Each structure stands twice: as C-alpha cells, then as structure tokens.
Amino acid sequence: MRKNGSPPPRFDTNEDRDCFTATLPIHPLANTPQVSTPVEKMDRKNLHAILTFCGQPQDKMSILTRLGLKSKKNLRERYLQPLVQNGLLAMTDPEHPNSPAQKYRTTPEGLRFLQNLTEETTHGRA
C-alpha cells in the first residue's frame, strides 16, 4: 500500500486481544473521476477511422495498427474510453472489460455520428 501511495492499514483489537479488525483505506485518488478526451476534441481523421473500422468488431491491437499509433494507453484514454462512454463504441464483452479477447464495435449511435461526421467533411464543415 505504501508503494502505491495509499494510506497505511489500521489494525484494531478487542480488549482480550483475541481478534482484530483490519481497515485498508482506499487510495485518495480512487474517487477522482477519470478525465477523458471529449469526442468533440478528438482528431476527426482518427475518430472517422475508428468508427468505420469497428463496423466489424476489432481488438485494441488492430485499432492501434490501423491508426498508426504506438501507445495502447493513449488509444484507450484518448479514443476507446470516451467513445464507449458516449455510446459510439461498445465492448463485445462488457462484463470483462480487461479481457484479452475484448473487441470494440461501432454502435447504431456511432454509425449515425459517423454519417454526420462524413456529411460535415463532405460539405467542408470539418
């Protein structure tokens, strides 16, 4: 717990000292909301590429390769998490988000967003 910056554990015993209670406090940042990139601020080219590519379920490595990115963390934080949170992408196995077999697919809402994005680009509004 010390290594990850959590508060130290507390141990309390009864008067007879024949049993104890251990309290393991959570890390102070555990309740801090995760900040993700708003969809509006994402690179339009990458946003379009992800939503198009994930018309068929794709794993993280395939998406990473398709975008030409090197960092899985960057992909997850800047693209996948915000797109899932906004309902534009869905996980194929939401019960196991860290599964190595996890894939992402574009949702119907994502397809509508993609269509609007394509229309904006076509009409010069991007």
Condensed to tens digits (0 to 9), the pLDDT of residues 31-83 reads 555 556 678 788 889 999 999 999 999 999 999 999 999 999 999 989 999 99
Report residue 121 as tokens: 């680009």
pLDDT at 126 over 50: no
| CA–CA separation, 39 and 10 (whole Å) | 43
pLDDT confidence band for 123 (50 / 70 / 90)? low
- Strands, E assignment, 2-123: 10-13, 20-23, 58-59, 89-91, 103-106
27 vs 107, more confident: 107
Mean pLDDT score across all residues of the chain = 86
pLDDT at 119 over 90: no
- What fold, for 41-122? Arc Repressor Mutant, subunit A (1.10.10)
- Strands, E assignment, 14-108: 20-23, 58-59, 89-91, 103-106
Q: Domain coordinates of the chain in residue numbers?
A: 1-32, 41-122
Q: What are phi and psi of 35, to 5 degrees?
A: -95, 125
37 vs 24, more confident: 24
**CB-based contact 107:92 (threshold 8 Å):** no
